[in-house]
Structure 1
Amino acid sequence: MRAICSRVEPRTFFHRGAAGLLSFVVLTMSAIPSPGETYRPQTCSRTETALLHGWRFIRQDVAGAEGINFDDSTWPQTDLPHTWNNLDGEDGGDNYYRGSGWYRLHYRPAETFAGRVCFLKFDGAFLVTDVYVNGIWVGQHKGGFAAFSFDVSSQLKPGHDNVIAVKVNNSPNPEVPPLSADFTFFGGLYREVKLLITDPVHISPLDYGSCGVYLDASRVSSNSADLQVRAILFNASPREATVQIRALIADAWTNIVTTFESNLALSAGLNSTALLSGQIQKPHLWGGLADPYLYRVFVEVRNGSKLVDRVEQPLGFRYFNVDPSNGFFLNGRSYDLHGVSMHQDWVHQGWAVEDQQRVDNFALLKEVGATALRLSHYEHCEHTYDLADRNGLVVWTEIPLINQITDSPAFYANAAQQLRELIRQRYNHPSVICWGIFNEITMKKGPSPTRLAKQLAALAAQENPGRPSVSAANARDDEPSTWCSALSSFNKYFGWYNGEISDLGPWLDSVRAKNPARSIGISEYGAGANPAHHSETCGKPEPGGPFHPEEYQNLLHELHWQQMKARPFVWCKLLWNMADFASDARNEGGLPGLNDKGLVTYDRRLRKDAFYFYKANWTTDPMVYITGHTFTNRMANSITAKVYSNCDSVELFVNENSLGRRSSTNCIYTWAVTLLSGANSVRAVGTKDSKTVSDSLSWNGPAAPASVPTASAKGSVISAKGDSGATTDH
């Protein structure tokens, strides 16, 4: 059976110049003998300034708002990042504002910027963005998640007051995916806006919003790796320039490992593609969670003796393959991909989050022990990918082609644009191992998506043959679009939206038997849970109903995980979702406007019980957790106490009386307990390799039934009766 592998030979890349002419130069590599020296960056012409403060904003369309003399003095001031749906997009009712909003900024760039090239870079704006400088329209971007840049050199006046006006529109647009989705579409400039200043000779930021540098590692092993560095250069000066291109590869401590360099003649007004290549001996491999080692690549452009431009990018050497029978392999070793999908929003902030909150997200991912992260359902910001690289998370990233398509050339073209943007902007991140081309594309009735899915899979292979395409399907198993991507994965909600919890394993066996050469993964599964809702009986609630007890979410995750863990052919196991997120059309689980399938709450303040189930299964440091920390007032005296732990054994104490020590093969420990009326102290003590850890809580029991004997001297009547076969008495 064929395995999809990331070891690929370098290919020839072409890039068309501004005048439609092909400018292609192959460079030879000449290494500078400076290994071991610390890289000390010199001052260069490139500067980047974040334009975050002093904006004025209005949430409506206003005629003439792009004008240089337009009076915006009555508009409220705002800072970026900003969204106008941070409140109405999370309160339910499916009635949040979808329309136009205007941003205006007065800005005086330094007079020293005269004669240089000026770009406005937008890290993300939803959905259609029109940009004006001093009343002149400089461009439009269609798409809500990729970064994009415009050359504003002709419009911006260094040393003078300039007006930057931006119109953002999050209205439904039949030409731009996503057309619909189960999450709120937060309108606005929800990521940073920057002013980028470069020398006329520079590495271009206009190649689909990328940094203009692409790193291709091939034939990677622990002995050696081939490396190709590709840079898109532009000469905005009126005459030809001969420049020196240098790529300095540095280790994690910025010590030079090797250097590639060559000279290149750049025609005036044209793009040129520079290729430099060489071999790295004994590379330190990027090894996932255990060893996410990163090199740094500094690409320099020198015009004569002057350093005119420099771009830094991360570099991780790794190789991987996906085997239909045995799952994912990283650097030649089996590497279990288990983890979560994750949206980018945060309570009361929508998508306008700060870097520290992204850091907090990754702290939770590390704590729970995830090895893999699906960035749903769109391109996330650069900082998120940087954090994945540094923390060793394997990443699935995707475009927002969701629910249905429009069968039109404009829609097809925009989907392809968004895929190119995603691939080129995230090309150098070693954490990224696949490109997602759609999610649940047949959820709503409409034109067949198969032709588009095939085109996108082919485009992904053309853009980056070193990484496979992937899709998240929820249609019937024989739906043609399901099988267009190189890797297959499914969103399956057995026991929640359909079927029984126990159906997952048999379904996996069936789909594998019918498709033995395909790699099969699970990209979504889960159940809603409101941590204020509880039940002693753990019966299945209505998914769209008002009651989502935490105990049912626990049960579903326990049984789904065990079914997947027993099947090593499942190449990824990604639950839905890391955190609750805004979906303004929802009204369920007592939480209007929220999808409550997260392992943590929308504000990240509360870890639900299921978080600790996965922590017990996915981490090795001793931990123990008693479920029901928010189930303070129990509904019965005779209950089952459940503990999640990765310890060798766990002992439970109720009112300081031991109920016995248990061991477990699935990290689940249970005891039958009879609570006293009123407060009951509960403590679990886990032991692993002579280390002990504990967790405690208090449960209030209802009035004791008449048949319950008088309490002992220690104040409790408990049952030490054994539980299910999952645990045994010591």
Structure 2
Amino acid sequence: MNVGTVTLSNVLQRDRLSLDGDWNVIVDPYEMGYIGILEQRNDRGFFRDHTPRHPGDRVEYDFDASPTLTVPGDWNTQDERLHYYEGTVWYRRKISVPADRASQRMYLHIGAANHTSRVFVDGDEIATHAGGFGPFAVEVTGRLGPGEHSLVIQVDNRRERDRIPAMRSDWWNFGGLTRSVDLVFVPNTFMRHAWITMAPDGRVVGGVELDGPPEPVRLQIPELGVDDVVELDSDGRFELDVTPERWHPGAPRLYDVRWACADDQIDDRVGFRTVETDGERIVVNGETTFLRGISMHAEALSGGRRSHGADDAAALFDVAEELGVNFVRLAHYQHDEHMVREADRRGILTWCELPVYWGIAFDQQHVLDNALEQLEELITRDRSRASTIFWSMANETLPGPERNAFLTALADRARLLDPTRLVSAALLTLPTADEDQHVDDQLGEVVDVVAINQYLGWYYGQRDTIPTTRWSTPFGKPVIFTEMGAGAKHGHHGTDAEIWTEEFQAAIYAAQIEMIEANRSDTGRGAVAGLSPWILKDFRAPVRVLPVIQDGYNRKGLVSEEGERKLAFEVLRRFYADIESRI
């Protein structure tokens, strides 16, 4: 479990000293840098960052003479020797804090470290964290005085049965410090969390969590005439009597927001919109909205590496925007904060998800506890983002009492942390031979929207029966297809009867689109309220081993691993353009 870590929101808006760049690393598959030969903690381990004290002193490692890896980044694509590596890598950086800042309160903020990490300062272990995709912070106030210090972070990406995710996933297990690392400077009293959004009934609501002696919090939104000390209730929440112009998909109205508390100040850009359901329809700002979506992995548009930062986010959204989407599913884990902020700027709705994927140890309390920790990291970071309308608890988990209880606990916590958004989970469905598909997974009672992963025409079913397939549930809720599609290698051509060809993939998309048109809830024909086909681009997956065709990539992308458009891209683009022209 997480020890010594906290969550901080609005980090990108704070006073930071970047620790990005080259870090010295030691690869440690046996974890001897932490555990000794008798299975006890090795007190002369790598985290001590020792150097020989005299010519006869035995020190069997040397960070200064060791190779480097760039942070942020994954180790798999930076060093071919680590391509498939799963285990421990020790990262070391020497840091110096300017003398005039050493007395300030400060936090070490890590955007993501996959999967489990330990943090050491000058040889002292100060924190542990479990979860490969969520941001976390460690207070280092008083530890980094004038002069040089050793910062060591142990990162372990091994797959284990009681981790989240667990043993198997259809994506690459990128290891490393995959997002930015910063020192964040804050006053003695600061706003650990400050957020604002719009409830489904149109009220502007928010909350503040202070760290340090209590001080009044002033909120300024100049364009709305807001410049007041907020009155916080016992839960640290408040409500404003204002009527902002709405942030709409495709018309992203954003307001400058300033928070001030004593010497602490945060500037943000925030939009306000409502989201709710009405029977089998999804309603944004009071308007029925059909979700024209696409799914994304956090993999860069080219190079097959873990994506990070504003440039990667912009490149991915450029392609999605060309497709004509108003919605993206950020699967199957917490994505970079730059992704949801880019969605805010572009007016594209988002689905944000936890890595509760396939075979999770649902009967283990400590696994649920960590899932709840990861959920809190996600929601507290992103609940001011107007683009985010879904919190997703899981993807493709097998129904059963323990799974249902586990995901219900996550849904309950999500609604407690943020009651203003929709809660869902992508369901694993195995359609029957009937053309009428009835999805009755009991989790449908818990979620707000029934999300279905279906691969008619690819893993099961015949293509010629797709257009006449009808979908229903017993829940009277909207249905969205969070996955659908087929695989094709870019440049591989043939007839639409030849698997792995672009023509085959395009034909599957054409048949699925015909089915969706006949099932759309916004036209009164069915329950389908949107889709996010799988997936924007081909991505690395070690389970995809077919030579020449896959070569370690899942080929369901609409563009290749280098961003080259496939035929199906244009099929989906025309469908979305046609829908938009009818609005």
Shorter-chain-normalised TM-score: which range?
Answer: 0.7 to 0.9
Alpha-carbon offset, residue 505 of structure 1: 5.3
Q: What whole-Å deviation, never above 9, does each CA across 1:475-525 have from its counterpart, x for those lacking one?
A: 45344345532221111001000012344455533x34xx15122221100
1:486 has 2:452 as partner: no
For 1:345, the aligned partner's letter is: E
Which of the pair has more CA radius of gyration? Answer: 1
1:49 counterpart = 2:30: no
Alignment check: 8 A CA contact 1:246 1:299 kept:
yes
Amino acid at match of 1:76: P
1:124 partner SS: coil
| Matching residue's letter, 1:183 | W
Structure ranking higher in strand proportion: 1
Displacement of 1:88: 8.2
Partner-residue secondary structure (3-state), 2:21: coil
Secondary structure (helix, strand or coil) at the match of 1:378 reads coil
Please say if 1:257 is aligned against 2:225. yes
Provide the C-alpha distance between the structure 1 equivalents of 2:196 and 2:306, rounded to a whole number of angstroms. Answer: 30
Q: Which residue of 1 aligns with 2:513?
A: 561
Q: Distance in 2 between matches of 1:354 and 1:468?
A: 27
1:525 match:
484
Q: Does residue 134 of structure 2 align to residue 146 of structure 1?
A: yes
Matched, 1:430 2:390: no
1:299-345 per-position Cα deviation (integer Å, ceiling 9, x unaligned): 1112xxxxx111233321211222334x2222122221011110011
Structure number with the higher helix fraction is 2
Shift of 1:242: 6.2
TM-superposed deviation, 1:591:
2.4
Which residue is 1:15 aligned to?
A: none
C-alpha separation in 1, matches of 2:579 and 2:467 = 29
Residues 1:375 and 2:330 aligned together = yes
Letter in 2 for 1:98: E
CA 1:540/1:114 → structure 2, altered by over 3 Å: closer, same or farther? same
One-letter amino acid of the structure 1 residue matched with residue 258 of structure 2? F
**Distance in 2, Cα, partners of 1:90 & 1:480:** 45
Q: Kindly indicate whether the alpha-carbon contact (under 8 Å) linking 1:90 and 1:184 is maintained by their aligned counterparts in 2.
A: no
Out of 538, 549, 552, the position equivalent to 1:590 is: 549
Post-superposition offset of 1:137:
0.8
State the one-letter code of the partner of 2:379. Answer: I
Offset at residue 353 of structure 1 (A): 3.7
Structure 1 unpaired stretches of 5+? 1-17, 19-44, 205-211, 236-240, 265-271, 303-307, 542-547, 623-645, 647-664, 666-730
2:40 aligns to what? none
Specify the code of the residue in structure 2 equivalent to 1:309.
D
Cross-structure match for 1:82: 73
Q: CA deviation at 1:195?
A: 0.3
Residue number in structure 1 paired with 2:366: 410
What are the Cα deviations for residues 141-181 of structure 1, in whole angstroms up to 9, with x where unaligned? 10011100000113222x21011000000001333211121
Give the letter for the 1:434 counterpart: F
Contact 2:482 2:533 in 1 (8 A): yes
Alignment partners' CA distance in 2, 1:449 and 1:397: 20
The corresponding residue for 1:336 is 290
Alignment partners' CA distance in 2, 1:412 and 1:244:
36
User: In the superposition, relative to structure 1, how do residues 257 and 162 fare at CA in structure 2: closer, same or farther (>3 Å)?
Assistant: same
Partner Cα distance (1:592, 1:447) in 2 = 38
Q: Distance in 2 between matches of 1:48 and 1:535?
A: 54
2:97 match: 109
Q: Distance in 1 between matches of 2:475 and 2:364?
A: 35
Give the match's secondary structure for 2:357.
Answer: coil
The CA distance in 1 between the partners of 2:91 and 2:81, in whole Å, is: 23
Contact 1:125/1:190 (<8 A) preserved: yes
Output one character per residue of 1:81-109: Cα deviation in whole Å (capped at 9) or x when no partner. 12111278999xxx811100011000100
Q: CA deviation at 1:113?
A: 1.8
After superposition, the C-alpha distances for 1:189-235 in whole angstroms (9 at most, x for unaligned) are 0110000011111112xxxxxxx112142365xxxx53333211111
Q: Distance in 2 between matches of 1:274 and 1:450?
A: 31
Structure-1 residue corresponding to 2:253:
293
CA distance in 2, matches of 1:201, 1:457: 32
**Residue 196 in 1 paired to residue 177 in 2?**
no
1-structure distance, mates of 2:292, 2:286: 18
Q: 1:411 to 1:317 in 2, by over 3 A?
A: same
How many Å separate the matches in 2 of 1:403 and 1:219?
32
2:531 to 573, 583, 608: 573
Once structures 1 and 2 are overlaid, which stretch shifts more, 420-429 or 61-70? 61-70
Match of 1:450 among 404, 413, 438: 404
Deviations 1:380-400 (A, max 9, x none): 011000011111111111100
Q: Which residue of 2 aligns with 1:232?
A: 209
TM-score by length of 2: 0.85
Q: How far apart are the structure 1 equivalents of 2:464 and 2:442?
A: 27
Match of 1:366 in 2: 321
Aligned residue for 2:502?
A: 550
Q: Return the offset for 1:599.
A: 0.6
Please say if residues 88 and 97 of structure 1, whose CA atoms lie closer than 8 Å, have aligned partners that are also in contact.
Answer: no
3-state SS of paired residue (2:171): coil
Name the CA shift for 1:550/1:349 in 2 (closer, same or farther; >3 Å): closer
Q: Which residue of 2 aligns with 1:639?
A: none
Which whole-Å CA distance do the structure 2 matches of 1:217 and 1:551 have between them? 44
Correspondence for 1:468: 422
Q: Which amino acid aligns with 1:517?
A: G
Equivalent residue for 1:279? Answer: 241
Q: Secondary structure at the match of 2:47?
A: coil
In the other structure, the counterpart of 1:65 is: 46
Show the counterpart of 2:461.
Answer: 499
The CA deviation at 1:568 is 1.9
- Judged with a 3 Å threshold, the aligned counterparts in structure 2 of structure 1 residues 183 and 482 are, in CA distance, closer, same or farther, namely farther
> What's 1:656 paired with?
none
User: Residues 501 and 324 of structure 1: is their aligned pair in 2 closer, same or farther, counting only changes over 3 Å?
Assistant: farther
CA displacement, residues 554-602 of structure 1 (integer Å, 9 cap, x when unaligned):
0000110121122222122110000100101212361211001001111
Secondary structure of 1:314 counterpart? strand
CA distance in 1, matches of 2:211, 2:312: 36
CA distance in 2 between counterparts of 1:566 and 1:475 reads 20
Q: Does 1:345 align with 2:306?
A: no
1:118 counterpart residue number: 106
Alpha-carbon distance in 2 for matches of 1:399, 1:466: 18
Change (3 A) 1:188 1:278: same
Matched, 1:244 2:200: no
C-alpha distance after superposition, 1:28-61 (max 9, x if no partner): xxxxxxxxxxxxxxxxx96211111241122324
Residue 85 of structure 1 aligns to which amino acid in structure 2? N
In 1, Cα distance between equivalents of 2:553 and 2:390: 29
CA 354–246 in structure 1, closer or farther in 2 if over 3 Å, else same:
closer
Contact 2:469/2:515 (CA < 8 Å) preserved in 1? no
Q: 2:436 corresponds to which residue? A: none
Q: Label 1:532 to 1:575 Cα distance change in 2 as closer, same or farther (>3 A).
A: same
Quick one: structure 1 residues 497 and 250, their matched pair in 2 at CA, closer, same or farther if it must change by over 3 Å? farther
The alignment of Structure 1 onto Structure 2 pairs a total of residues equal to 529
**Per the alignment, in what secondary structure is the counterpart of residue 332 of structure 2?**
coil
- Partner AA of 1:249 in structure 2: I
Alignment match, 1:217: 198
Kept in 2: contact 1:526–1:597 (CA 8 A) = yes
Displacement of 1:610 = 1.1
SS at match of 1:111: coil
Distance across 1 between alignment mates of 2:239 and 2:72: 39
Distance 1:90 1:534, change over 3 A: farther
Q: Distance in 2 between matches of 1:505 and 1:621?
A: 18
Q: Tell me if the contact between 1:134 and 1:156 (Cα under 8 Å) persists in the aligned partners.
A: no
Q: Deviations over 1:678-710 (max 9, x none)?
A: xxxxxxxxxxxxxxxxxxxxxxxxxxxxxxxxx
Whether contact under 8 Å (1:449, 1:481) holds in the other structure is: no
Name the TM-score, length of structure 1 as normaliser.
Answer: 0.68
- Counting only pairs closer than 5 Å after superposition, residues 631-710 of structure 1 correspond to structure 2 as none
Q: Tell me, in whole angstroms, the C-alpha distance in 1 between the residues paired with 2:277 and 2:469.
A: 20
